[in-house]
Structure 1
Amino acid sequence: MRAIVLLSCLVMVYAADKYSSKYDNFDVETLISNDRLLKAYINCFLEKGRCTPEGADFRKALPEAVETTCAKCTEKQKNNIRKVIRAIQQKHPKQWDELVNKTDPSGKHRADFDKFIQGSS
């Protein structure tokens, strides 16, 4: 579980079988290429800073998305989440560790989530 940030930034509002497609077109490339913006989202997820409405929605969905390895995510959401998580892991490894510990403190989901991030799930 490496957390999921953003879940990876991008898992939205709960729905029956899938998360809402409301954020399927969220501009992930702008997020991961703008370090200031990426840090703001990380701080939102860690509850260390203000959240945009999108960030607040993502933060609410994170625990379930980590626990279920994004079972309710659409393929687009899964791809976006992977991109965001990889960016956080590379650019902000300490904050990634904090997110992992916050989202999956027992480490119960970590191995499955790591596989998901690598695209093996």
Structure 2
Amino acid sequence: MKSVVLCVLGLAALAVAFPGGDMYTDRYDDVNLDEILGNSRLLTPYLRCIMEEGKCTADGKELRSHIREALAQDCAKCTAKQRDGTRRVIGHLINKEPQWWDKLKAKYDAKGLYSKKYESDLRHV
């Protein structure tokens, strides 16, 4: 299975922190997001992992552990590629996977502090 998607919700940010580091590692910056987002067989396991509804790979667990921080800090520790990837993943979820977006919002942003900004920026009419 492909490595990390989403720097999801931060999501999604393809972010795995260096121990004690200031930035997330760029180890996953070259993951083919188009392939993952275009194939529910690849995307769904990551979403289920992030929602704690299914098995997780080690990198999926790391991703899940950084989602709240990445959202709260506007991806401050993300590389430029990770910020871009985060916006692509969140935009995909908002526009093409609204059931997953709603679940992720409920779990990681129940008060709507961060998701409203993403929705106004990334929702396609």
| TM-score of the superposed pair, with normalisation by structure 1 | 0.81
Map residues 5-84 of structure 1 onto 2, 5 A cutoff. Answer: 5-14=9-18, 15-84=20-89
Separation in structure 2 between the aligned mates of residue 72 and residue 26 of structure 1, nearest angstrom: 18
Q: Provide the C-alpha distance between the structure 2 equivalents of 1:112 and 1:70, rounded to a whole number of angstroms.
A: 13
Q: Secondary structure at the match of 2:78?
A: coil
Answer whether contact 2:45 2:54 (CA < 8 A) is retained.
yes
Across the aligned residues of Structure 1 and Structure 2, the Cα RMSD in angstroms comes to 2.0
Give unmatched runs, 5+ long, in structure 1.
none
How many residue pairs get aligned? The number is 114
**Higher RCO (CA < 8 A, seq sep 6+):** 1
Distance in structure 2 (CA, Å) of the matches to 1:37 and 1:89? 18
1:55-86 alpha-carbon deviations (Å, 9 max, x no partner): 21111110100111111110000111111122
CA contact (8 A) 2:37 2:89 kept: yes
Over the matched positions of the two proteins, sequence identity in percent amounts to 33
Q: CA deviation at 1:47?
A: 0.6
Q: 1:9 to 1:39 in 2, by over 3 A?
A: farther
Paired AA for residue 7 in structure 1: L
- What is the rounded CA distance, in whole Å, between the counterparts of 1:38 and 1:102 in structure 2? 18
Taking the aligned partners of 1:113 and 1:32, their CA distance within structure 2 comes to 18
Contact 2:13/2:75 (8 A) holds in 1: no
Q: Which has the higher helix share?
A: 1
Pick aligned residue for 1:106 from 106, 111, 118: 111
Q: Distance in 1 between matches of 2:60 and 2:86?
A: 13
The alpha-carbon deviation at position 6 of structure 1 amounts to 4.9
